[in-house]
Structure 1
Amino acid sequence: MKQINKIFFVIMVISLITAPAFAKKKSKTTQMVPISFAELAREAKPGVVNIQTVKTIEGGGRVYKHFFGQPFDGNKDQFNEFFAPFFNQRPQKRKEKSLGSGFIISKDGYIVTNNHVIKGADQVKVILHDKAEYDAKVIGTDPTTDLALIKIKAKNLMPLKFGSSSETPVGSWVVAIGSPFGLEQTVTAGIVSAKGRIIGSGPYDDFIQTDASINPGNSGGPLLNLDGEVIGINTAIIRSGQGIGFAIPSDLANGVIDQLTEQKYVSRGWMGVAIQNVTEQLANYYGIKETKGVYIAKVYEGDPADKAGIKVGDVIIMINDKTIDSSRDLTLMIASSSVGESVHVKLIRDGKKKTVKVKLGERPDQTSEMTNMKDGFDLFGFRLKQMDSDIAQKFGYPEAIKGLVIIDIESGSPASKTDARHGDVLMELNRHKISTIEDYQRYLNQIKKGSLVQLLFRRGNNNVFVESFEKP
């Protein structure tokens, strides 16, 4: 009997020793509903900041624009000539304030936020959790991913750490901290509702969807896992819906932030191809078993893909042993690769598999000259959009027309001093035909500073004119 009691006692001791370890192991794979988020919020709040910006706005707001817009097909001079004397003078510049959020990532004052929070701001002020205020310097921005890096001079900062968004499964608990409607240090909780969401904000859409309450003012704030790690940057909401917010995944943001820290701008890999998804018709035509992969519709002359021997009609199915199922896969893969990096591209040509080595270049819209673009305007002050059938129909052009349509002209820019106006179509640059934004950027980048740039425009179905500029 004593022997049995000893055995039972030993079993109980072993059970007590191993139980905590087992529970700890299980807790990593299965996170139950937390009793409270208080401890997480207490530790994370000092790393979250409120951002206030001041921006100078030209003109007099909606009332002025209503009367002094361009109601007569853009002929504003006649309109102003008649009415301006009654208003004495044009309204002065006005200041506009806005709010957002951000979070500290280093003890020496680097802070991450959204680009749209600080875009165009004349002054950026950061308010810490203890109400201390600091003027911030903009280090770099990446409008494509809506990320920005700013810096303050302060001591005793408490930075947050990044976690892995790819290792955060759907259904995981998350906490959002920010300043919705200016209400600083607001904490909300929810779950990861979905991942890889495309919301039409740009070519690198890969958002985390969450039902943690996110409102205007939350932009730039962190989305945290239960370990207090940043797994997303809150950036967008669907105003017509409830419980639908979006965050930039940390795995995407990390590479962007590293580049902004090191070189103040972001460069991305570039193959030099126009692509589309493989449809069922294309798969049947090229003898491909599945409707997966990326069809090469165009190869730009002299670019990396052309130099590597990639041809129109090739179907890319793999990059560096990673399967490519769609155009989005290829875009994200190449954009996240370094300029000058060599990648192995597996493709199908004439029904046979082939592997080529491509040394990536730098994406044209990321070159140093294109960093002179501000808020979507080019070097001369034009905001351009590639022509499509909908735009052609709107402005009365033939559906087959190629070129870039002017959708806006920056006030005070060289472009504003020309006869070009909204709706005109850019057809050629120095006698090079322009069909896409890439065409325009490529030819523009080949021109030396101080050289003559001649742009051929079309207005309506008959009028063609040329505007000349010196490249700044």
Structure 2
Amino acid sequence: MARPVRPPPRRRPPDAAIPLPYDERRGVFTFATGLERSLPAVVQVTTLGASRGPTSGENEPKPLQSGSGVIIDARQGIIVTNNHVVDGGTKFTVDMTDGRLFDATLVGVDKATDVAVLKIEAPNLSQVEIVDSDTLRTGDLAFAVGYPLGLDQTLTMGVISGLGRSGLGDAVEDYIQTDAAVNSGNSGGPLLDSRGRLIGINTSILSGGSDPLGGTGGNDGIAFAVPTRILMFVVGQIREHGEVTRGKIGAVMGSLTATRARAFGLGIVRGAVVEDVAPGSPAETAGLQKNDIITRIQNRPVANAGSVQATVGIAPPGTRLPIVYLRDGHEHTTALTVATAEPVRVAVGKTAIEAFGAQFQALPAAPARDETAAKEEAPAQTAAQTGVLVVSVEGGSDAAQHKLTAGDIVTKVGEREVTDLAGLASALEADQGMTTLTVRRGEETVEINVGE
């Protein structure tokens, strides 16, 4: 009797999908194996300081706010969290998942990226494995870990919804967007990949009626994390110098919008517009001019002005940055070398001024009107055309800290009226020390003190 011939085993094609992690003993799909290695490194951070309300005369610091953090160096006890978690604190404590509680020392902060570094002295710590965020792809699984809404350590899952997000505020922005549930208290906690490796630090949410920076609203499925590409540069600078030293390129940037794209006759709406170039700056040396449209920097696509700021913001002085830009609809390439940023009170360009971390330009010319309409116009409406426009504010700068915002119109410096850029430059240079700016913001007028 002939033996049956068994068919050869079927080989899985090289491109066949790899099955989800499966626990045969329990009969469930799970990512626990990779994630459980990282969870002990996720901590709760409590910030204490002087009470913001009525006091009873006691001098003991009171809890101000709490958030999350993650240990990235167990041997040195280095913890990364958000600046807004530790802001205003005089004392910091760290709760571990094993029940231990330690006092922490603040090593330094970077307000422009909302990153803070703490240090604890403790034995037997765990640390998270770190992966390069440039390897991420939209659609990757992502896990947010932290201590939201007063709960104990909580893990939520989602996907990477987008990469390179910016334009959310005046900061060094290149965020990872995820729909993993992130709520108040998750701030500073890690965003992990499906193997439990660190890809970013959760820093902000968009939620109906909430503060976009870790606010009080509920999760709407839109959260943002600082990617490890930026995070590790910032942490390295803080650990080495206690602060972040950034270079400059000497260009004022604006974002390309649909309206501006039509004005330029372009069929694209992604890019950064060169608003002004400082004389003798790296941007001028590289040949950039006003109204050039930067579309790529250091081989990365440029979505808006924030994309350029994010790349320059982590480029040490001396770094050579390749640039692709459009001029009159034609593509050109160049490269600029990042220069050392020297503290200058007022930097005057051809069509813009920079001071206190804010950029100022002349107000756009009012549309032409017939003489009859001009005579009938109220004096207050005519006066509203005077002043100097704030076009951007650098995150973490003196201007940002004192709530000067893009779109404000400066009408006075101290007691001096300001009607144009020349007048603003003259007034700022003459007014040393703390300066009071009177600005028009919509229908209201406010005073802002800068230069303290």
TM-score by length of 1: 0.65
Distance 1:355 1:151, change over 3 A: same
2:50 corresponding residue in structure 1 = 56
The structure in which a higher percent of residues are helix is 1
1:330 corresponding residue in structure 2 = 308
Per the TM alignment, residue 318 of structure 1 is displaced from its structure 2 partner at its CA by 4.3
1:117 aligns with 2:91: no
2:64 corresponding residue in structure 1 = 97
Quote the Cα distance in structure 2 between the aligned partners of 1:320 and 1:166: 13
Structure of greater Rg: 1
1:342 aligns with 2:320: yes
Quote the Cα distance in structure 2 between the aligned partners of 1:190 and 1:280: 31
Distance 1:316 1:257, change over 3 A: same
Unaligned runs of 5+ in 1: 62-89, 370-378, 390-394, 405-422, 461-467
Quote the Cα distance in structure 1 between the aligned partners of 2:44 and 2:296: 43
Distance 1:207 1:330, change over 3 A: closer
Alignment partner of 1:275 out of 241, 253, 263: 253
Quote the Cα distance in structure 1 between the aligned partners of 2:167 and 2:258: 25
SS for the counterpart of 2:180 is coil
Quote the Cα distance in structure 2 between the aligned partners of 1:2 and 1:130: 65
1:254 aligns with 2:232: yes
Q: Give a deviation string over 1:305-344, Cα, whole Å, max 9, x none.
A: 2344433244444445555464343333322322222334
Letter in 2 for 1:45: L
Distance 1:453 1:214, change over 3 A: closer
SS for the counterpart of 2:50 is strand
1:372 corresponding residue in structure 2 = none
| Contact map agreement 2:174 2:306 (CA 8 A) in 1 | no
Alignment partner of 2:288 out of 310, 330, 342: 310
Alignment partner of 2:198 out of 208, 230, 251: 230
Letter in 2 for 1:100: G
**How many residues end up aligned between the 2 structures?**
385
Distance 1:39 1:32, change over 3 A: closer
Quote the Cα distance in structure 2 between the aligned partners of 1:173 and 1:316: 32
Per the TM alignment, residue 46 of structure 1 is displaced from its structure 2 partner at its CA by 1.2
Distance 1:299 1:50, change over 3 A: same
2:372 corresponding residue in structure 1 = none
Per the TM alignment, residue 148 of structure 1 is displaced from its structure 2 partner at its CA by 0.9
2:406 corresponding residue in structure 1 = none
Alignment partner of 1:155 out of 123, 127, 133: 123
Cα RMSD (Å): 4.9
Which stretch shows the higher mean deviation, 351-360 or 148-157?
351-360
Alignment partner of 1:401 out of 387, 404, 412: 387
1:359 corresponding residue in structure 2 = 337
Letter in 2 for 1:105: I
1:21-420 to 2 correspondences below 5 Å: 26-27=17-18, 35-57=29-51, 60=54, 95-107=62-74, 108-198=76-166, 200-237=168-205, 238=207, 239=217, 241-278=219-256, 293-320=271-298, 322=300, 324=302, 326-349=304-327, 355-362=333-340, 398-402=384-388
SS for the counterpart of 1:135 is strand
Distance 1:434 1:133, change over 3 A: farther
Distance 1:368 1:219, change over 3 A: farther
Per the TM alignment, residue 270 of structure 1 is displaced from its structure 2 partner at its CA by 1.9
Per the TM alignment, residue 347 of structure 1 is displaced from its structure 2 partner at its CA by 4.2
Quote the Cα distance in structure 1 between the aligned partners of 2:200 and 2:228: 5
Which stretch shows the higher mean deviation, 348-357 or 255-264?
348-357
Quote the Cα distance in structure 2 between the aligned partners of 1:215 and 1:227: 23
| Contact map agreement 2:181 2:219 (CA 8 A) in 1 | no
Distance 1:296 1:383, change over 3 A: closer
SS for the counterpart of 1:171 is coil
Letter in 2 for 1:221: G
Per the TM alignment, residue 266 of structure 1 is displaced from its structure 2 partner at its CA by 1.7
| Contact map agreement 2:183 2:219 (CA 8 A) in 1 | no
Distance 1:319 1:241, change over 3 A: closer
Q: Give a deviation string over 1:87-127, Cα, whole Å, max 9, x none.
A: xxx98888343211111001210001111111110100111
